[in-house]
Chains A and B, each alone.
Chain A
Amino acid sequence: MLQINDLTVAYSNVPVFTDLSVNFSPGKITGIIGPNGAGKSTLIKGTLGLVRRSGNATLNGTAINRVRQKIAYVEQRAALDLTFPISVFEVVLTGTYGKLGLFKSPGRKEKELATDALKQVNLSEFKNRQIGELSGGQLQRVFVARAIVQQADVVILDEPFVGIDMKSEEEIMNVLRGWRDAGKTIIVVHHDLNKVAAYFDELLIMNHGVIDHGPVATVYTQENMARAFSADLSAVLFNKRAGA
């Protein structure tokens, strides 16, 4: 169980949320939705200790800082330099760095892991490509492959489907479902409200704090969506659903 207790994050004294507490269960794909600027990415970064925060986050009772190897994180549209001299295979291999620790370089075992992971996301033939020579969807699959290599118990993805093709989205969803069925805790920050019911087991709806959290069937309601987004948007969303 990933537990977040009384988490507060502020950027230059303006809090994004205060005393936020929420638990994420294993064996579930949990979606996090909320309007732009609601603090979804900030919740992830606060949980991982990537921004200054108060409160704490634990995995099965242990502080995150001490179990980092058990968590994989796929950043939102990482602002990476895609001209960097690194190949697809080398990027995936960096997923082994955490467990390797300082001074050790990846050996045969690590390279096999990376090769397998690339196969799982159907990118084997691209392994020697420079990282900039990929489409958006292929690039995102590379980062999912890196998460595979990390062999983590918890995988957190921040808006992984933005700007990618349907085929890549489907392939990534299949990887996530496989992880879920293997009992991992999967957390996906998501923007496309139409897919909520199809993709997620649980939903965390937020807007500078938790609006509601629970199984999709119980929390994905017109009322909650109106509170998080707007009454208009919510009405459109649910009328469409009722009509379909």
Chain B
Amino acid sequence: MTSIVEFLHALGHYNFLQSALMAAIMVGIMSGIIGSFIILRGMSLMGDAISHSVLPGVAVAYMLGVNLMIGATTFGVIAALLIGFVASNSKLKNDTAIGIVFSAFFALGFILISMAESSTNLHHILFGNVLAVSDSDLLSTFVVLAIVIVFVFALFKELQITSFDEVFAKSYGLNTSIIHYGLMIILTLVTVSALQTVGIILIVAMLITPAATAFLWTNRLVYMLFVSSGVGAVASIVGLYLSYTMNWASGPAIVLVAAIIFLISFVIAPKQGILAKLGVKNVKKA
């Protein structure tokens, strides 16, 4: 318990810790929101692919001295387009196309980064270094969060119907590709923001685990978005606390907390929870 007091004390005194906390919370919220759509669309693998595919963009941005967001978004979108192109112009299934494209991008990024920067930086990019969040990082994270919220608010019904029933959406004339690629662009922005808190390797966990947890607890999309971003935020706070006090890397700490919340939900959640299922069996027996 003393460590919690210490953590709060440190929070009051150190700017870097405050920035880290704010960044982590914002990333938890945005990845919870976007992650909900990712899992509902059955695109978990795509989320993983896009997040890995931004690596060469990060490297190129370093080399050229341009904004990380621009480099990362460019490569994220190229990867998304390439995956779509390979899948629709060959006999290969979507997940195969994803596997090929993202591993190639990741490998390219890995080599570019090692050429451009020292290995500590690579380690931070891969596993996150939330304690090094700068003011400008904080600002861009805030901008991305605002974009995510505006995007989901403005296109809520389009995101809902294309996730639930894409054929119907097409039949009434909605351009579903625009929604898809819009979501991919937002996903790359979220990825870049999450780069600093959890790192590229574990971003997919922030997209999937809180959303999957919320899915177990809710029956309505709106509630799912709130619960998912709440779980993401709580995991970020607790993970940051563990990271600070135990001197763990921030990414793995945050992701582990999220996984534990999921595990608890998996056992006790009303929808598809283990206990709920046992309950159903007992009722049926009776």
Q: Is A217 an interface residue (CB 8 A)?
A: no
Q: Is A11 an interface residue (CB 8 A)?
A: no
Query: A48 touching B171 by the CB < 8 A rule?
Result: yes
Q: Is A126 an interface residue (CB 8 A)?
A: no
Interface stretch of the complex, out of B77-85, B154-162, B200-208:
B154-162
Q: Is A15 an interface residue (CB 8 A)?
A: no
Q: How far is the CB of A242 from chain B (nearest CB, A)?
A: 41
Per-position binary interface string of chain A over residues 71-94, scored 1 when its CB falls under 8 Å from any chain B CB and 0 otherwise = 101010010110111110011001
Within 8 Å CB of B165, what residues of A?
Answer: 78, 80, 94
Q: Jot down 30 A-B pairs with beta carbons below 8 A, ordered by A.
A: A50-B167, A50-B170, A50-B171, A69-B173, A75-B167, A78-B165, A78-B168, A80-B165, A81-B40, A81-B164, A84-B164, A85-B40, A85-B215, A85-B218, A85-B219, A85-B223, A86-B160, A90-B160, A90-B220, A90-B221, A94-B157, A97-B157, A97-B172, A97-B174, A98-B172, A98-B173, A102-B158, A105-B157, A130-B219, A150-B172
Within 8 Å CB of B140, what residues of A?
Answer: none
Please report which residues of chain A, range 95-112, place their CB below 8 angstroms from some CB of chain B when the two chains form the complex. Answer: 97-98, 100, 102-103, 105-106
Within 8 Å CB of A102, what residues of B?
Answer: 155, 158
Interface size class of B (residues with CB under 8 A): 20 to 34
Expressed in whole angstroms, the Cα–Cα distance for A168 and B224 within the complex equals: 32
Within 8 Å CB of A62, what residues of B?
Answer: none
Q: How far is the CB of A238 from chain B (nearest CB, A)?
A: 37
Please report which residues of chain A, range 194-208, place their CB below 8 angstroms from some CB of chain B when the two chains form the complex. Answer: none
Q: Which residues of A contact B (CB under 8 A)?
A: 48, 50, 65, 68-69, 71, 73, 75, 78, 80-81, 83-87, 90-91, 94, 97-98, 100, 102-103, 105-106, 130, 146, 150
Within 8 Å CB of A150, what residues of B?
Answer: 172
Within 8 Å CB of B157, what residues of A?
Answer: 94, 97, 100, 105-106
Within 8 Å CB of B42, what residues of A?
Answer: 81
From A73, A97, A130, residue with most partner B Cβ within 10 Å: A97
Expressed in whole angstroms, the Cα–Cα distance for A146 and B164 within the complex equals: 14
Query: B40 touching A103 by the CB < 8 A rule?
Result: no
Query: B171 touching A68 by the CB < 8 A rule?
Result: yes
Expressed in whole angstroms, the Cα–Cα distance for A50 and B172 within the complex equals: 11
Within 8 Å CB of B224, what residues of A?
Answer: 85
Expressed in whole angstroms, the Cα–Cα distance for A105 and B159 within the complex equals: 12
Residue of A nearest to B158 (CB): A102
Residue of B nearest to A130 (CB): B219
Expressed in whole angstroms, the Cα–Cα distance for A217 and B161 within the complex equals: 41
Per-position binary interface string of chain B over residues 144-158, scored 1 when its CB falls under 8 Å from any chain A CB and 0 otherwise = 000000000011111
Query: B171 touching A73 by the CB < 8 A rule?
Result: yes
A85-B220 contact given A97-B157, A102-B155, A106-B157, CB 8 Å threshold? yes
Expressed in whole angstroms, the Cα–Cα distance for A146 and B219 within the complex equals: 20
Query: A105 touching B156 by the CB < 8 A rule?
Result: yes
